[in-house]
A and B are shown apart, each in its own frame.
Chain A
Amino acid sequence: MIQLSRLATIIPDAPRVTLLERFTRYALLDRGSYEYADDVAVPPELVALASEITERTLRVRSARVLRLVPGDYVLAHHDPLHEDHRVEVIVDLSAAVVAGPEVRYQRRGKAFFRFPSQPGAASIVERDPTTRCHHTYVSKLHEGAVVVRLVVQLVDAG
């Protein structure tokens, strides 16, 4: 079924996520500079929330925690295109607000949604096959800043 909905929204109070602190650094610098952890349990409440908001029955396709410190970034061409109209949920797990860094989405090359630093909040975006996102550069002027984001890919359960 083709999904025509193009929801993109921010939920201020997302379900809590427990993190295991085992990060691996990714450093193919033409694509991104960040740390990641794949051993993360996605709370069922988060999937339920996304299902309710999108009015779709969703299941977890993949989940990854990204950790960015000053000098880090994730470029748009490091974000593959998907044909399955998946829903992307990002939960800001940072301990504190970091001014500047945000997640930005483009559709057909045009910006349409941004998720600024907002610890405890979640963004929910229905992707289409032209959607890309990137995580903007974390300035070295923000000494000690740590940005932590859970990125969950959800697909139709059917």
Chain B
Amino acid sequence: MWTLGAAWRDEAVLAATWRAAQPFPHLVFDDVVPATPVLDVLDDEGVVRQEGDIFAFEASGDLTGLGADFGAAFAPALARITGKPVTRAELRAYAYRVGHYLLPHSDHQDGLERLLAFAYYLPTPEPPRGGELELFRCRLTGGEITATDSALLIAPQPHRLAVFDVSDVSLHQVREVLGGLRLSLAGWFYP
């Protein structure tokens, strides 16, 4: 269902871009269009509201088949590009409506083996206002984060795939959606 377009051909350049990216390694690919529209695949999948201290959004359950296809398509190239031994992906569908957000956090948790995180943005009837993926630069002192500064905004454009490193300092958030609807597939790549 997924094919790698022309943007993926020069892996040496992508690897250099990954390593040089600030505030931490990441890549952004546009025009990642699957052969079968994702929304068709998601037709039977429901999303439910979830809320915690760092998030408010609607999410599906684990989309096993879609995750397997996604991992099979992208993991081999991403392993070569990033140097991280990823082989598979897990993902869920997310709907951020007005007022929804995901506050700053790193996806790193001991024992979970998340190596890379990703978000793939879907077209929506009303494009979102807000909802950008925001990456932060962290300053560490003695292993503790002692400063956090906004460094980059990635707009949730349809058919855009953002891939980023998972580490103690890969601090990021989804800014509050102030209008429209933000739909995405998001998850992690694992060994």
Contact = CB atoms under 8 A, between A and B. Distances in A.
Interface of A: 27-30, 71, 73, 75-76, 104, 134, 136-137, 139-141
Nearest to B103: A73
A30 B176 contact: no
A136 to B, nearest CB: 7
Contacts of B105: 30
B104 A29 contact: yes
B14 interface: no
A134 B53 contact: yes
Interface of B: 53-54, 56, 98-99, 101, 103-106, 130, 136, 138, 145-148, 171, 173, 176, 178
8 contacts: A28-B146, A29-B171, A30-B148, A75-B54, A76-B53, A137-B176, A139-B99, A141-B98
A71 B176 CA distance: 8
Contacts of B53: 73, 75-76, 104, 134, 136
A28 B171 CA distance: 11
B88 to A, nearest CB: 28
Contacts of A27: 148
A30 B145 contact: yes
B98 A137 contact: no
Contacts of A139: 99, 176
